[in-house]
A = this chain, B = another copy of it.
Amino acid sequence: MVRETNDAERPLRADAARNRTKILEAAAQVFAQRGLEATLDDVAEAAGVGVATVYRRFPDKGALVVALFEDAVEEIAALARRASDFEDSWAGLTFFIEEVLQRECANQGLRDVIVGSPYARERMALAKQRIGPVLGELIARAQREGLVRADLVESDVLVIEMMISTLGGAANKAAPDLWRRYLALALDALVTRRDAPRSLPAAPSAEVVLEALRASTARRGALRA
């Protein structure tokens, strides 16, 4: 799952290698749950390790983030290619949107990376350059076939995913599938025409939704006292 020690260097001592793994696992867990705003101290604690040990393996927070998420980003690029191979372009498009959204909602850290965290900014910019055209072509095909509204633009998809994942990630504990409701709603907006609306996954109680709402906008300072 994670690349072993650098190729040209002598292997790590057994305990060091063990700790490196523990760190990556803990980081995956912590960043997924709390996003990149989690501290390396948090990661260290979750790994049952001192902070210094983390910094001994990874020069800084950004390095750890990149190590953790480059696979995930790669996977998204692969999803775009798979989506564009669908016979049914609309199915391909929804496939892509849903798969990405699911990953973003399950993983706040991934979402931060995608939306442009400076910890992995240019890495992500590169990926976007590859994904963009593929996605754009898929949309164009769906439009040619009259399945998707003609005025839809590639960046709309990004925006929609960002809007939904903001809520989805925050709601994760109380209502892990809340995002599916708004995905369904969004998809209904993308088609050229429809008769009956597709059925929506059930909404949780208003309290849960409101709480998710608040959590999702937690720009510090604005929302914490």
Contact = CB atoms under 8 A, between A and B. Distances in A.
Interface of A: 35-37, 112, 115-119, 132, 149, 151, 153-156, 158-159, 162-164, 166-167, 181-182, 185-186, 188-190, 192-197, 199-200, 203, 206, 209-210, 213-214, 216-225
A168 to B, nearest CB: 11
B166 A222 contact: no
A193 B192 contact: no
A200 B151 contact: yes
Contacts of A35: 219, 222
Copies in the complex: 2
Contacts of A112: 217, 219, 222-223
A182 B186 CA distance: 10
B118 A213 contact: no
Contact of A209 (B158, B188, B190, B192): B158
Nearest to A151: B200
Q: Which 4 A-B pairs have the closest CB atoms?
A: A189-B189, A37-B221, A116-B214, A37-B222
A162 B217 contact: yes
Contact of A153 (B203, B222, B223): B203
A153 B182 CA distance: 12
A85 to B, nearest CB: 24
